A and B are shown apart, each in its own frame.
Chain A
């Protein structure tokens, strides 16, 4: 068992994963994430991006292959240790901003800090600072149902960044947004991560989003590929292309 290079914060070797129902997830993924970089994992839907992120972040146990985090073998840890690792070192942004509906924006952003035992005053200050930085400071006292989707997503980014994680896993964070909001959310996410030295693993199916990253790993059917050669889409039976009139 060979130790990973020093500047790699997260490191996976020949990672295989099969879903509980037997459908194939990952088939031999090896990758290394350097400290402080923004790594995009791209590929079409169903290519195993989310599964890879879940394996790397310890949300699911890894049976075949290895995952190392800062010379900690994540693949050997039990569920309790993985939970503690996730709480202390990792953060997760999903495609849906899963905010707690009863709490307002700043309380949502401060919740991870408060769960870690930070005092309320300091948690609030940090949360408000992050909300301000992500341009949702105006909405700090609104409940999630009064915010727009892009604002909610920015609050969830603030919630992920506030405890200063080592690695931030972002699983299609811009998927439910329009393009203008998408660019804004992505810029705020990447610039905040870069300025604070937070490593970001960003799963996205969108080439424009992947372009914002430092490096891109493309997955196809659970395998990393250099270039994606998809078969040509056959002509739709001589019928004129559909048009949507809005």
Chain B
């Protein structure tokens, strides 16, 4: 009951996020049910039905990703040090988050079921004169066990993922040395802090300009401390390798005359390398995004920054790991759409289900990014308050946020277009 009360007593923004999770879950549930309907209507083509079901993995993954992001942001499940003694410890809060996720996703699944039954005409007569008969299996009895199993997929997976993601953990005792993502921007060959301080010390007590110029000369990279690799996301080399391998596989697939485009129902064996390559590319994109976000922040704050660029760039560098993943997912989705736009050779119309799937995936990716931005803001609330107490004008803080968004947009849009062009090149040749 406590969980339900915590869930109910949230602010409208939080409820809106939960409703969005429910909507995503409803969309995914409807897609799954329509796979079932297609299979019922076409009992002879098992392969096409399985292929449709396999395509549904993408919306399921997007929905689960979004649900986890929303659960992380939920203020009801924030750690409450004072209430631990009352029983609201980390484990209980994990249960609260998991229950909230289960509620939202189950609501979505029920909505999907109701919509599906309504369109099939099970509740009241068939609407739209049976226009969607191909995937609705109108007139055939719907197997209840199959429908419920499919509808339980999203709530089950989302709840389990939230529980695993928010499980109570002790802070790690010691940080292991992290590899730098690019060796040439790393601390290689830089004097440790003690040496540099010693180098700057002789001029330390002099005139105001003396220590400045002395330390600038003594330290080749003055604005970094040896420990700022702590929050540097590792793994950019692997990501680039994956990306390259994926693009290569796609080029290899396009070496023969272009295979027929893999659609939701037909699937030529020649398209397997193409799809594999695209999967590798997407994985590489998702893995590369944190490192690239960090690099973007580093570029933003380089070369004698003022307060605005300093705040914008450093915050981007610190939050790269958090904000990079959803950014990467959005990037992959955008690159996928750009590829399909560029690869318009066999023009085919998108059906209603493809459009629904695309909407679910794009919406989830975008909403996840926004949710993570909210989470970042929550985590930085104390720092923001301290800055405001310091007398920082609100325009500077807003300007820094806008600058971050602009920098990310300017950095990632050309990359998206480049990857899409590279991916579509072998097909359109």
Taking Cβ atoms with an 8 Å cutoff, the residues of A that contact B are 59, 83-84, 86-88, 92, 94, 98-104, 107, 111-112, 114-115, 120-122, 124-126, 128-129, 132, 137-138, 140-143, 145-146, 159
The CA of A137 and the CA of B228, in the complex, are separated in Å by 19
Label chain B's interface by main secondary structure: helix
Q: What are the residues of chain B within 8 A of A87 when measuring CB–CB?
A: 390-391, 393
Q: Which of B208, B227, B310, B315 contacts A142 (CB 8 A)?
A: B227
The CA of A129 and the CA of B215, in the complex, are separated in Å by 12
Taking Cβ atoms with an 8 Å cutoff, the residues of B that contact A are 193-194, 196-197, 201, 204-205, 208-209, 211-212, 215, 219, 222-225, 227-228, 304-307, 310-311, 314-315, 317-318, 382-383, 385-387, 389-393, 396
The CA of A84 and the CA of B393, in the complex, are separated in Å by 9
Contact A114 B389 (CB under 8 A): no
Contact A126 B317 (CB under 8 A): no
Q: Which of A99, A120, A128, A143 contacts B215 (CB 8 A)?
A: A128
Q: What are the residues of chain A within 8 A of B224 when measuring CB–CB?
A: 141
Contact A111 B225 (CB under 8 A): no
The CA of A111 and the CA of B387, in the complex, are separated in Å by 9
Q: Shortest distance in angstroms between B170's beta carbon and chain A's nearest beta carbon?
A: 18
Q: What are the residues of chain A within 8 A of B306 when measuring CB–CB?
A: 114, 120
The CA of A103 and the CA of B225, in the complex, are separated in Å by 10
Q: What are the residues of chain A within 8 A of B201 when measuring CB–CB?
A: 137
Contact A125 B208 (CB under 8 A): yes
The CA of A122 and the CA of B208, in the complex, are separated in Å by 8
Contact B196 A98 (CB under 8 A): no
Contact B307 A114 (CB under 8 A): yes
The CA of A89 and the CA of B315, in the complex, are separated in Å by 28
Contact A101 B318 (CB under 8 A): yes
- Cβ-Cβ contact count across A and B, 8 Å cutoff: 98
Q: Which of B193, B196, B205 contacts A132 (CB 8 A)?
A: B205
Interface hub of A59, A86, A102, A103 (most chain B Cβ within 10 A): A102
The CA of A100 and the CA of B313, in the complex, are separated in Å by 13
The CA of A141 and the CA of B197, in the complex, are separated in Å by 9
Q: Nearest CB to that of A99 among chain B residues?
A: B386
Label chain A's interface by main secondary structure: helix
A-B contact pairs, 11 of them (CB 8 A): A84-B391, A92-B389, A111-B310, A115-B307, A120-B305, A126-B208, A128-B212, A138-B193, A141-B196, A141-B224, A142-B225
Q: What are the residues of chain A within 8 A of B205 when measuring CB–CB?
A: 132
Q: Which of A107, A115, A146 contacts B390 (CB 8 A)?
A: A115
Q: Shortest distance in angstroms between B394's beta carbon and chain A's nearest beta carbon?
A: 9
Q: Nearest CB to that of A160 among chain B residues?
A: B390
The CA of A69 and the CA of B193, in the complex, are separated in Å by 43
Contact A112 B390 (CB under 8 A): yes
Please give me the 4 A-B residue pairs with the lowest Cβ-Cβ distance, nearest first. Answer: A87-B391, A98-B386, A102-B314, A114-B307
Q: What are the residues of chain B within 8 A of A137 when measuring CB–CB?
A: 197, 201, 204
Query: Given A112-B391, A141-B225, A100 and B383 touching (CB < 8 A)?
Result: yes
Q: Nearest CB to that of A120 among chain B residues?
A: B304
Q: Which of B211, B304, B311, B318 contacts A128 (CB 8 A)?
A: B211
Contact B391 A86 (CB under 8 A): yes
The CA of A85 and the CA of B196, in the complex, are separated in Å by 38
The CA of A201 and the CA of B81, in the complex, are separated in Å by 32
Query: Given A138-B197, A141-B196, A124 and B212 touching (CB < 8 A)?
Result: yes
